[in-house]
Amino acid sequence: MKNKLFAISILSVFMLLSSGYPERNVDNNAIPGKIILQLQQTTNQKITLNKLAGLYSFAGLISEKCLSDQLGIWLFNYDESICEGKDLLKQLHDDKYIAQAQFDHYILLRELIPDDPKFMEQWALYNIGQSGGLVDADIDATEAWEIAVNIGTTVLGDTIVLAVVDDGFYLGHEDMNYWKNINEIPDNGIDDDNNGYVDDYDGWNAYSATGTIPARAHGTSVAGIAGAIGNNETGISGVNWNCALMPVAGSSTFESTVVEAYAYVYSMRLLYEETNGEKGAFIVATNSSFGVDFANPDDYPIWGMMYDSLGSLGILSAAATMNKPWNVEEVGDVPTNFDSDFLIGVTNTTKNDIKYDNAAWGSVSIDLGAPGTNIITTKALSTYGYITGTSMASPHVSGSIALMFAAADEIFLQKYSDQPAAMAIFMKNLILDGVDTLTGFDTLCVSGGRLNVNNAIRKLLSPRIQASADSIHYFIAPDSSGQKDLILQNLVGFELPFECNIANMPGWVDFAPGSGVLAGSDSVAVTISFDASGMALGTYYCEMQIEDLAGIKVPVVIEMNVIPNMGVSDAIVESNMIISYYPNPFTNELHICISMAEAGDLLLQVYSLSGRLLHTWIENTTLPGKHTIRWDGLDQTGNILQPGIYIIQLSGNGFSERIKVIRSAN
The answer on pLDDT for 570 being more than 70 is: no
Residues 457 and 469 in one domain: no
Residues 439 and 500 in one domain: no
In whole angstroms, give the CA distance from residue 223 to residue 217.
10
The answer on pLDDT for 7 being more than 80 is: no
Cβ-based burial of 58 (10 A; exposed 0-12, middle 13-18, buried ≥19): exposed
Q: Name which residue leads in pLDDT, 655 or 281.
A: 281
Residues 127 and 101 in one domain: no
In this structure, is residue 20 part of a structural domain? no
Tens of pLDDT, residue by residue over 459-507, are 999 999 999 988 888 888 889 999 999 999 999 999 999 999 999 999 9
| Strand 449-450 with 523-531, pairing | unpaired
CATH number of the CATH domain containing 488:
2.60.40.10
Residues 505 and 635 in one domain: no
In this structure, is residue 189 part of a structural domain? yes
Residues 301 and 424 in one domain: yes
User: Residue 564: its pLDDT value, please?
Assistant: 64
Tens of pLDDT, residue by residue over 452-461, are 999 999 999 9
In whole angstroms, give the CA distance from residue 326 to residue 542.
58
In whole angstroms, give the CA distance from residue 190 to residue 418.
34
Of 105, 134, 166, the domain-final residue: 105
In whole angstroms, give the CA distance from residue 129 to residue 278.
46
Give the other-Cβ count within 10 Å of 462's Cβ.
10
Written as one letter, the residue type at 276 is N
In whole angstroms, give the CA distance from residue 399 to residue 239.
5
In this structure, is residue 551 part of a structural domain? yes
Backbone angles phi, psi at 412, to 5 degrees: -65, -45
Which residues form the domain of 194? Answer: 119-461
User: Residue 27: its pLDDT value, please?
Assistant: 62
Closest of 76, 5, 87 to residue 37, by C-alpha: 76
The answer on pLDDT for 247 being more than 50 is: yes
In this structure, is residue 498 part of a structural domain? yes
User: Residue 111: its pLDDT value, please?
Assistant: 67
CB 586 within 8 A of CB 663: yes
Residues 270 and 361 in one domain: yes
Residues 370 and 302 in one domain: yes
Inter-CA distances, 50 with 62, 97, 468, Å:
9, 11, 52
Q: Per-residue confidence at 16, pLDDT binned at 50, 70, 90?
A: very low
In whole angstroms, give the CA distance from residue 360 to residue 353.
15
Tens of pLDDT, residue by residue over 359-383, are 999 999 999 999 999 999 999 999 9
User: Residue 474: its pLDDT value, please?
Assistant: 87
In this structure, is residue 13 part of a structural domain? no
Question: What is the pTM assigned to this prediction?
Answer: 0.76
Residues 386 and 497 in one domain: no
CATH number of the CATH domain containing 100:
3.30.70.260
CATH number of the CATH domain containing 290:
3.40.50.200
In whole angstroms, give the CA distance from residue 449 to residue 426.
18
Residues 278 and 406 in one domain: yes
The DSSP result for 75-105, as a single string, is EEE--TTTS-HHHHHHHHHT-TTEEEEEEEE
Cβ-based burial of 53 (10 A; exposed 0-12, middle 13-18, buried ≥19): middle
In whole angstroms, give the CA distance from residue 346 to residue 373.
13
In this structure, is residue 570 part of a structural domain? no
CB 285 within 8 A of CB 254: no
Residues 452 and 472 in one domain: no
Of 424, 442, 461, the domain-final residue: 461
User: Residue 561: its pLDDT value, please?
Assistant: 80
In this structure, is residue 24 part of a structural domain? no
Residues 431 and 341 in one domain: yes
Closest of 305, 206, 322 to residue 253, by C-alpha: 206
Q: Per-residue confidence at 427, pLDDT binned at 50, 70, 90?
A: very high
The answer on pLDDT for 508 being more than 90 is: yes
Of 461, 490, 506, the domain-final residue: 461
Task: Report the domain count for the chain.
Answer: 4
CATH number of the CATH domain containing 620:
2.60.40.4070
Q: Per-residue confidence at 566, pLDDT binned at 50, 70, 90?
A: very low
Q: Per-residue confidence at 3, pLDDT binned at 50, 70, 90?
A: very low
Average pLDDT of the residues in 258-281: 97
The answer on pLDDT for 574 being more than 50 is: no
In this structure, is residue 18 part of a structural domain? no
Which of 176-180, 419-423, 560-564 shows the lowest mean pLDDT across its residues? 560-564
Tens of pLDDT, residue by residue over 223-245, are 999 999 999 999 999 999 999 99
Residues 63 and 202 in one domain: no
Average pLDDT of the residues in 569-573: 36
